[in-house]
C-alpha cells in the first residue's frame, strides 16, 4: 500500500512538472507605429502588468511596434505575438473569413477588452472644404489625398467608408506614406487632405491644425451617411469631436468611429487573461496617470458585446464583477448565425 502511495505521489509530481514546466511567462503585444497611440498605450499596459504580475507569477509583457492591424493579425497567426491592438473591422473580417481574409479565417482571435473608439479623422485643406462634409473630398479628384499605403490597415477602412458614400478613391493620387508621414505630406503641400484614424486629439491632426491654423477643416458626417457606411459591417457609430479639440476648431463636429480592440490568442490561458484584467481594473488611477490615452478604460456596469467574442478569462473577470453585456442592434452579428 505504501509503495503504491509513493508511486502515486511521484506520478502526480511528474504530471505537475509536465503541466507547469512549459507555462508561458513572456507575452508580446503587437501594437502600431512607434509614435502612435496604439504603441504608447500598449507599452504603458505592458509596463504596469510586468510590474504587478512578475513578482508573484513571473509574467512579463513587452509591446513591439508594428504597422498596425494587418501585421498584428499575421504576427498572431505565426505565434510571434500573443496579444494585439486591432481595428474592429480587421478583427471581424479575420474572425469570420471575410474581406481580405476570405478563405483565410483566423479562428484563434478573442477580445480581451475594449481600448477606445477609433475615430475617423478625414481632414482637408479649408479652401476645398466647401461644405465641411465628407463629400468634399471629391474636390481632390485627380490630386493627392493621403489615405495610407496599400498594405496599411487605415487605408482599407478608409476605402470602405468612401466607397459606401459613392466616393471613388481611385480618382485620388494616393501617396505611399505612412500614418505620421501623412501630416508631413500635407504640411509640404503635397497632399491636400488625409485620413488618420485615432482617438482625439490625434497627434497628427493636432500637428496640421497647429502649423496651418485656419487652413484646415475636419470633415463631418450625416446620420444618413453613417447608415450607408454600415450597410455591410455595422461597426461605426457617431462620434462628436468637441469644439476646441484642435486649434481653431470652433464647433462640435460629428465624425464616426469603430471600436479599437485589445485582442488575445485563444491559446493564452484563462488565468493569464483574468489576471491581466484584474490588474488593469485595480490600478486604473495609476494607469491613467501613466497614459491619459487609456482613460477610456474604466469601470463599466454594462459592456457592449464586441464583434469578436470575449476570451473566457475576460468573461470570468467581468461576470465576477457584476458586469452585464448588451448586444447592439447591429448587422455585424449576421456573420455568427
pLDDT value of position 12:
57
What pTM was estimated for this model as a whole?
0.83
pLDDT value of position 21:
45
Rounded to 5 degrees, what angle do the CA atoms 229, 231, 233 make? Answer: 85
Average pLDDT, whole number, for the chain? 89
Separation of CA 242 from chain center: 21
**Helix, strand or coil for residue 166?**
coil
pLDDT value of position 154:
85
CB neighbours of residue 205 within 10 Å: 27
Would you say 66 and 305 are in contact if contact means Cβ atoms under 8 Å apart? Answer: no
Per residue in 110-120, pLDDT tens?
Answer: 999 999 999 99
pLDDT value of position 6:
52
Edge to edge, what strands does the sheet with 122-125 contain? Answer: 145-146, 193-195, 122-125, 216-218
pLDDT value of position 14:
45
pLDDT value of position 222:
97
Helices 270-282/312-320 angle, 10° precision = 40
Per residue in 204-234, pLDDT tens?
Answer: 999 999 999 899 999 999 999 999 999 988 8
- Domains belonging to the chain, first-starting first, are 24-117+261-336 (3.40.190.10), 119-259 (3.40.190.10)
Q: 238 forms bridges with which residues in the sheet? A: 256
Is the model more confident about 333 or about 127? 127
pLDDT value of position 167:
97
Rounded to 5 degrees, what angle do the CA atoms 239, 332, 76 make? Answer: 90
Is the model more confident about 304 or about 271? 271
Would you say 156 and 100 are in contact if contact means Cβ atoms under 8 Å apart? Answer: yes
pLDDT value of position 25:
93
Would you say 92 and 332 are in contact if contact means Cβ atoms under 8 Å apart? Answer: yes
Rounded to 5 degrees, what angle do the CA atoms 39, 40, 45 make? Answer: 95
Phi and psi, residue 92, nearest 5°: -65, -50
Rounded CA-CA distance 264/108 in Å is 8
Rounded CA-CA distance 126/15 in Å is 68
Q: Which grid cell sits at 228?
A: 450607408
Per residue in 154-211, pLDDT tens?
Answer: 888 999 999 999 999 999 999 998 888 999 999 999 999 999 998 888 889 999 999 9
pLDDT value of position 50:
98
- The size of the chain, in residues, is 337
Rounded CA-CA distance 260/106 in Å is 18
Question: If you average pLDDT over residues 279-287, what whole number do you get?
Answer: 96
Amino acid at each position: 500500500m505504501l509503495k503504491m502511495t509513493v508511486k502515486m505521489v511521484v506520478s502526480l509530481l511528474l504530471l505537475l512538472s509536465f503541466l507547469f514546466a512549459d507555462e508561458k511567462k513572456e507575452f508580446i503585444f503587437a501594437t502600431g507605429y512607434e509614435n502612435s497611440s496604439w504603441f504608447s498605450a500598449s507599452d504603458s499596459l505592458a509596463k504596469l502588468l510586468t510590474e504587478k504580475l512578475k513578482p508573484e507569477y513571473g509574467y512579463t509583457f513587452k509591446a513591439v511596434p508594428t504597422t498596425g492591424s494587418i501585421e498584428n493579425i499575421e504576427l498572431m497567426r505565426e505565434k510571434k505575438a500573443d496579444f494585439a491592438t486591432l481595428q474592429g473591422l480587421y478583427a471581424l473580417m479575420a474572425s469570420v473569413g471575410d474581406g481580405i481574409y476570405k478563405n483565410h479565417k483566423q479562428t484563434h482571435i478573442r477580445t480581451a477588452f475594449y481600448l477606445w473608439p477609433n475615430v475617423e479623422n478625414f481632414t482637408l485643406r479649408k479652401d476645398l472644404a466647401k461644405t465641411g462634409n465628407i463629400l468634399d473630398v471629391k474636390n481632390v479628384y485627380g490630386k493627392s489625398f493621403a489615405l495610407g499605403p496599400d498594405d496599411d490597415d487605415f487605408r482599407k477602412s478608409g476605402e470602405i467608408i468612401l466607397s459606401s458614400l459613392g466616393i471613388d478613391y481611385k480618382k485620388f493620387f494616393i501617396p505611399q506614406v505612412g500614418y505620421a508621414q501623412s501630416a508631413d505630406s500635407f504640411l509640404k503641400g503635397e497632399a491636400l487632405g488625409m485620413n488618420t484614424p485615432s482617438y482625439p486629439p490625434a497627434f497628427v491632426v493636432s500637428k496640421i491644425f497647429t502649423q496651418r491654423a485656419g487652413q484646415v477643416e475636419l470633415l463631418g458626417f450625416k446620420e444618413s451617411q453613417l447608415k450607408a457606411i454600415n450597410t455591410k459591417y455595422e461597426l461605426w457609430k457617431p462620434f462628436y469631436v468637441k469644439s476646441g479639440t484642435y486649434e481653431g476648431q470652433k464647433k462640435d463636429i460629428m465624425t464616426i468611429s469603430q471600436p479599437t480592440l485589445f485582442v488575445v490568442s485563444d491559446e493564452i490561458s484563462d488565468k493569464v487573461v483574468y489576471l491581466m484584467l484584474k490588474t488593469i481594473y485595480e490600478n486604473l488611477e495609476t494607469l491613467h496617470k501613466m497614459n491619459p490615452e487609456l482613460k477610456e478604460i474604466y469601470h463599466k456596469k454594462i459592456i457592449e458585446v464586441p464583434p469578436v467574442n470575449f476570451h473566457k478569462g475576460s468573461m470570468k473577470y467581468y461576470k465576477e464583477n457584476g458586469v452585464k453585456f448588451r448586444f447592439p442592434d447591429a448587422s455585424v452579428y449576421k456573420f455568427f448565425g
